[in-house]
Amino acid sequence: MKPVLLALSLAAGLAALAPAAAQGLQPPRTIAGLETQPPPLLHGDVPILPRQLAQLVAARNPEIRYSRLGVEVAAYLSSAEASLYETVLYGSAVGDDVDRQRTIEERVSSAASLSVLNERSQSYEAGLKQRLPTAGEMSLAYKVVRRSNNIIASSTNNLQDTEWTSGLVVTLKQPLLRNAGRGVLETDRRVAELEREVQWAQFRQQVLKSTADALNLYWQLQRAQEARRLRDESMNNVQKMAQDVDARIEAGRTPPAARLEVQSILAGREAELLRADLAEHEAEAKVLTALGIPSTGPALHLKATDTPLPPNAQPEPLDEALQRALDQWPPYRVSQLRLEQGRLRLAFADNQRQPQLDFSATYNATGLAYDRIEAKKLATRDQYPEWTLGLNFEMPLGGNGKAGGQYQAQAVRVQQNLLELEAIRTSLSNDLSQRREDLVSALRQVAQAQKDVDLRKQVEDNERDRYRLGVGLLRNWLDRENETYEARQRLSDAVMRAQSARVAWQFAQGSLLDEYDIALRSE
């Protein structure tokens, strides 16, 4: 049952595209890597167009879907880094239980000359922390301390044994050299955002590659089916020749030896037809594999439709194509993004070479009373403020070799990124030029092969007429028929090479996905 459910949704794709084609409308664009549902059952002969195959592969190919998941992973990581400025709520509760001897100094300085301190205390704190764009951190907290001991009871003649301390605390910590500044603070976030763009570019590369591979398989299937049709047609022609020869032998117009000659040609055509059947099955199996259809499922036979070359198959000028290709070529875009990431990391490494100098400031409005509410009122009235200001300095005496080494290493990586970027540009320029020449040459070969077929067909017709008039030889007619058959086979091969060359040109030039209405994300 499972192989049946895995049969690809060709019928759904064909049904969706057929009405649009019938009405002259543009078919809907396919979003790459989003199809996850099992396809319906398909069987029998199913005609398929190159556009349909490309869209089905783009939507369902496992490698494309795997690459799209990589984009989602990068998006989640980028969102995680984007929470850099998220406000943090914190709190604490601490309890102490103390029974200890008091020192002589404590006993002399206190009105109550108790030798032992019995104290119970509870401390509660709650506040908010906020990261600042300057890479500093600010916090606002409210703190309450409840303290009960025998000294308080002795000092108040046992009227009170508890005191409360409340405080509003504002704290600021700000790096001044190392780790200072928004650029340093947001390095990881910006690197994560660029990594997300890297994953999009790599996803586009995978979609381009899988689509181009599928289209090449399609042209191979079409070539194999055309070769099978030509061989079948040639064998039928030879069979008709054999019938004509038999009739002429019976009429005494041709010697019996001619029958053996035709039969030998017919046997050769039958052997070629068997080889063509095998080649067609192999090409179809490759297409089914690309579509994810198991051979153990119901009988399914894909029929590649006859798709001629478009009239505008000639490529655009190389200069225009190169600029467009650079704007869309995924490896070039990835190299640009890696360079941006490298420069961000280089700026961070440069900052880490500086000494550490941090400024800190604390403001504390306190209130002390025997009653908690009274202590809170005193704290909020700001009657007893406390200020603390400080600087913290730290610098390795050896010159901070670790940070220096990391900076030099990152500087070399940036140089590598620059070299890689230029190498990709040069490689793309050369590759684009070569693929343009390949396409132009392939189109010329198609035109020449078509002329050759037309001429050889005329020669074959003339030789057939000569034979039927009794002024030509059977061998000459058979030779001309075979030459026409071979010329048609060369034309089929030339068309397949031209179609593949056009796919390779669109792949390098960046128009392949637009040509077959494939999108990376919804509009």
pLDDT single digits (tens) 158-199: 777 788 888 899 999 999 999 999 999 999 999 999 999 999
Q: What is the pLDDT of residue 107?
A: 65
pLDDT exceeds cutoff 50 at 8: no
Comparing 236 with 424, which gets the higher pLDDT? 424
Rounded mean pLDDT of the chain? 82
pLDDT exceeds cutoff 60 at 2: no
Q: What is the pLDDT of residue 239?
A: 81
pLDDT exceeds cutoff 60 at 260: yes
Lowest-pLDDT range of 4-13, 110-119, 371-380, 433-442:
4-13
Q: What is the pLDDT of residue 21?
A: 38
Q: What is the pLDDT of residue 465?
A: 85
Tokens 């401390």 identify what position? 123
pLDDT exceeds cutoff 90 at 310: no
Comparing 298 with 361, which gets the higher pLDDT? 361
pLDDT tier at 7, thresholds 50, 70, 90 = very low
Cβ contacts of 255 within 8 Å, gap of 6 or more: 249
d(CA 459, CA 470): 17
Strand partners, 96: 121
**Are 100 and 117 within 8 A, CB to CB?**
yes
Lowest-pLDDT range of 97-111, 360-374, 478-492:
97-111
Burial class from Cβ neighbours inside 10 Å (0-12, 13-18, 19+) for residue 99 reads exposed
pLDDT tier at 102, thresholds 50, 70, 90 = low
Query: How many other CB atoms sit within 10 Å of the CB of residue 392?
Result: 12
Q: What is the pLDDT of residue 108?
A: 61
pLDDT tier at 471, thresholds 50, 70, 90 = confident
Q: What is the pLDDT of residue 406?
A: 92
Cβ contacts of 452 within 8 Å, gap of 6 or more: 487, 490, 491
Q: Extract long-range pairs of 73-78: CB within 8 Å, 24+ residues apart.
A: 73/199, 74/192, 74/195, 74/196, 74/198, 74/199, 75/196, 77/192, 77/195, 77/196, 78/189, 78/192, 78/193, 78/195, 78/196
**Are 325 and 311 within 8 A, CB to CB?**
no
Taking the model in full, what pTM does it have? 0.77
What order do you get walking across the sheet with 162-175 strand by strand? 88-101, 116-131, 137-149, 162-175, 356-369, 385-394
| pLDDT tens column, 209-258 | 999 999 999 988 988 888 888 888 878 877 877 787 777 777 777 777 77
